[in-house]
Structure 1
């Protein structure tokens, strides 16, 4: 066989090393995997064993990184530990020969292996676990540095690849191959961003048993999680709803007026009493709460809605009280997720707005619930209305309309105002009209800023017929491109507990940026 030293391998290297003694562990299968990798765009191959290297180099023109693995009683070093292994790989046609270059007890010094590789005109690759080992390998004269053994020389194996080691190795002036746990295209991309010259991928491409196991385990875990029962609270300014939720089914629920002594021991005890009949029947706890949630703490956005103590450690207190995993979220954001998963969102990009005693909202983009850097994402009610600089919530919510009614000598709550409007009373129509005008502008601005597929409206005010009677013609005055598609919420008062229960079970739909 005529050997031609290859140029530096850049891009994707595929490691064709099936599970030892598994159903794919045959010479013919390894060659077929190599050819399939070539056809898929691989720029190089990593092959173990003299016979396998010889068969692949005879069938495929891609450069091969060859290695021989041995299980030694006297050393933990497994990859190409002997000079005779180097010579066997040379005879088999390997262009690059990989050796374990870690600082562990070894049968043959690494520099002797390096000398043997160079003596045969081959390229030497050092498989290392630490930056110090990479430095020593580079100074010794190895041609390529591979992060292959990071995480595999002691202790638990991490789940994520060692991107920091890749970046550190790139400072040494040698080509770097990122290897070890690069099991998705995005992780491979990140390796290149961290200045790897090539990325070696094995299990995710060629170990069918491993990939099957990943899927099987994930599906089984999801099935277990979906079967979990959640004790879900929806704590608003006027009422607190507690429910026992499994999947999209609310098994039981009950509501009480919200105790405004938030954060006190009696208040915590009232939550426990509300759920006392369900003790032992749930696996997790979720709380959807009015106000701001950030890093497990609870803050008041509008103290008039509920006077929450500053930075109340809600996650910690609920965990101590109920002794199980806890998830907390702003109530409107949780309701947005509930409508997205189970209701009017239909799993499309959307904004949910609840217009009731206050005004809150949540944004779903790309299948993720947007929380924001400070937990504020979707808080339309906290936007400031010119020229007064008052919050939109203060002017156009149920509480806001009630305040306006009192100011003109017509004390009434939102329900009474709408009833009066439906009877044609001018003072009530004027109050509702004023709120609708402000909300029309705000909805158009939301469409321009976020541009969702739909805006889902919920809440007692948001669902009121008199409100829609005025809102629909007002929106017709907005240009077509700026005019949102409004759809009514489907889940009513259950959106919050359904949303927070799903978040509590999965913990993955939240995007904090």
Structure 2
């Protein structure tokens, strides 16, 4: 239901039932909702940034776009973390357009700083989401604390029942935001399922899956239930030690969960065929040819394991729980390298399918595509142009500052990915091309790609969309594939 027509319908239904205002994510959705309702709109933009944990309206351009789309109030993350724009800068940008501001806070200190910067409303939106695992109940204590600072406190976060909303008002809330309990069918279903399971008692097939993502720099082990990561741990991938050591490290990391899982999935960089693992690009990770990954993991963990390329797993994760809409999907990850996955007729393609970064003639040029478009290429190209030592996120910062050398690098990368998208559309004609990765999700990159797709009289029009699961797509995807292979679809 993540499409403008559904969001606008939810908005109209909420207003018809008596909602006083709406909180809407994305510039496009604010514009769609503004056309059908007259109540105030709180607008936000969510982004997954490679160089900052701030997700809610991180950039001035986001705030300005929300104002232009029709938001009356612009909300943004006001926590004390590394951020691309200061709270003061965001407040000033919104005020210049005659709109109000809301600071999404995790603590009373966040609210004090935000009020000092001139915000109009403070909210409890980020309570529990900055450090540690978020609790299940709303933070009414923080509502009461904020009420001592200002009367304009918005209670938001994990408010699932009318009784919890009443408690927030009694704690001093000026207004209460209800989100998932109204708009997220999958969350509401999960709450009822969990309640029923506690009454019936869980069956073994309802245990989580242990999902392991082995990459060139780090290995992540996670307990995954459906689309949710219940717990996770990351460790460095010691490149010189080899796959036996990588698996042993993952096994040691998973000891803390005391085998609270009944399936194992591995999402790995490189090539998987018949359970055997080989390197496609040894510079990413040196893997012995035909390493028996599935057999070694099965012996080590004491239960059958399943393995697939990490980008192919991410493609399935986006298809099932992210940006997919049920039709054929191609996923591209533009990061240190360029990879991808393909889902056709509801099935993920394995083997060599989706290794777009290694293509040469299809997207043009003698070198492989990732040698002309990836984060690794951007780093090398910046050095060649006299700016050594910069990573992709640094180059994007310089490009946003209108430095020509950096704009040229970003533009060249986007142009090559745009040509790839055109070629994919001609070859597979998918409903969606979903782009993720640190480079792919950088501010403005997708708009550049979409605008640079070569024209063919309007016949070739890839639908390029933003990935939604971020770094968890691989583990979520491989866990779901394990469930489907064992007949335990969640």
Match of 1:134 in 2: none
Task: Supply the distance in 1 between the matched residues of 2:445 and 2:342 (Cα, whole angstroms).
Answer: 23
Q: 1:403 aligns with which of 373, 377, 380?
A: 380
Does the alignment pair 1:246 with 2:225?
yes
1:281 aligns with 2:235: no
> Which of 356, 360, 381 lines up with 2:339 in the alignment?
360
State the secondary structure of the residue aligned to 2:459. Answer: helix
Tell me the CA shift for residue 479 of structure 1.
4.1
Residue 227 of structure 1, CA deviation: 1.5
Q: How does 1:395-434 map onto structure 2 within 5 Å?
A: 395-411=372-388, 412-434=390-412
Task: Decide which of 280, 283, 292 is 2:271's aligned counterpart.
Answer: 292
Report whether the alignment pairs 1:312 with 2:288. no
8 Å contact kept, 2:415–2:453: no
Secondary structure at the counterpart of residue 247 of structure 2: helix
Q: Distance in 1 between matches of 2:311 and 2:317?
A: 10
1:345 corresponds to: 324
Matched with 1:379 is 355
State how far apart, in whole Å, the 2-side matches of 1:421 and 1:341 are.
34
State TM-score, norm by structure 2: 0.55
After superposition, where does 1:25-104 map in structure 2 within 5 Å? none
Structure 1 runs of 4+ off > 6 angstroms?
none
How many residues are matched?
Answer: 284
3-state DSSP class of the match of 1:338? helix
The TM-score, its normalising length taken from structure 1, stands at 0.53
What is the aligned partner in structure 1 of residue 426 from structure 2?
Answer: 448
User: Structure 1 residues 262 and 391, CA, compared in 2 at 3 Å: closer, same or farther?
Assistant: farther
**Distance in structure 1 (CA, Å) of the matches to 2:285 and 2:236:** 12
CA contact (8 A) 2:418 2:450 kept: no
> What's the offset of the Cα at 1:285?
0.8
Contact 2:419 2:454 in 1 (8 A): no
Determine if contact 1:262/1:307 at 8 Å carries over to the other structure: no
Q: CA deviation at 1:332?
A: 0.5
Q: Which runs of 5+ in 1 are unaligned?
A: 1-222
Distance between the aligned counterparts of 1:260 and 1:479, measured in 2? Answer: 48
Pair 1:420–1:235, CA change in 2 (3 A): same
How far the C-alpha of 1:461 sits from its partner, in A, is 0.8
1:496 aligns with 2:474: yes
Alignment partner of 2:216: what SS? coil
Displacement of 1:476: 7.0
Contact 2:335-2:438 at 8 Å conserved across structures: yes
Please report how far the alpha carbon of residue 425 of structure 1 lies from its aligned counterpart in structure 2 after TM superposition.
Answer: 1.4
* Structure 1 SS opposite 2:299: helix
CA positional deviation for 1:460: 0.8
Distance 1:229 1:458 in 2: 25
- The match for 2:370 among 393, 400, 404 is 393
1-structure distance, mates of 2:344, 2:203: 27
Rounded to whole Å, the distance in 2 between the matches of 1:476 and 1:225 is 52
Quote how far apart the aligned CAs of 1:263 are.
2.8
Q: Between Structure 1 and Structure 2, whose CA radius of gyration is higher?
A: 1
Q: Can you list the C-alpha shifts for 1:279-335, whole angstroms capped at 9, x where unaligned?
A: 321111101011111111111111111112211111111111111110000001000
Q: 1:225 to 1:370 in 2, by over 3 A?
A: farther
Q: Note the C-alpha offset of 1:229.
A: 1.6
Superposed displacement of residue 474, structure 1: 1.2
Please give the alpha-carbon distance, in whole angstroms, between the structure 2 residues aligned to 1:417 and 1:477.
28
Q: Residue 435 of structure 1 aligns with which residue?
A: 413
Instruction: Report the Cα distance in structure 1 between the residues aligned to 2:461 and 2:240, rounded to whole angstroms.
Output: 42
C-alpha RMSD of matched pairs (Å): 2.1
Give me the whole-angstrom Cα distance separating, in 2, the residues matched to 1:388 and 1:365.
28
Q: Distance in 2 between matches of 1:225 and 1:462?
A: 39
Alignment of 1:62-211 (within 5 A): none
Separation in 2, partners of 1:449, 1:443: 10
Q: 1:381: how far off?
A: 0.7
Match of 1:465 in 2: 443
Distance 1:413 1:503 in 2: 34
What SS does structure 1 have at the residue aligned with 2:224? strand
- Partner of 1:482: helix, strand, or coil? coil
Gap regions ≥5 residues in structure 2: 1-201
- TM-superposed CA distance for 1:230, in Å, is 0.8
SS at 1:480's partner residue?
coil
Counterpart of 1:468 in 2: which secondary structure?
Answer: helix
Question: What secondary structure is seen at the aligned counterpart in 1 of 2:231?
Answer: strand
- Cα offset, 1:257, TM superposition: 3.1
Q: Aligned equivalents of 2:376 and 2:218: distance in 1? A: 14
Tell me how far apart the structure 1 counterparts of residues 241 and 462 of structure 2 sit (CA, whole Å): 37
Preserved contact between residue 243 and residue 287 of structure 2 (Cα < 8 Å)? no
Task: Tell me the equivalent position of 2:302.
Answer: 323
- Distance of aligned partners of 1:341 and 1:264 in 2 relative to their CA distance in 1, 3 Å threshold: closer
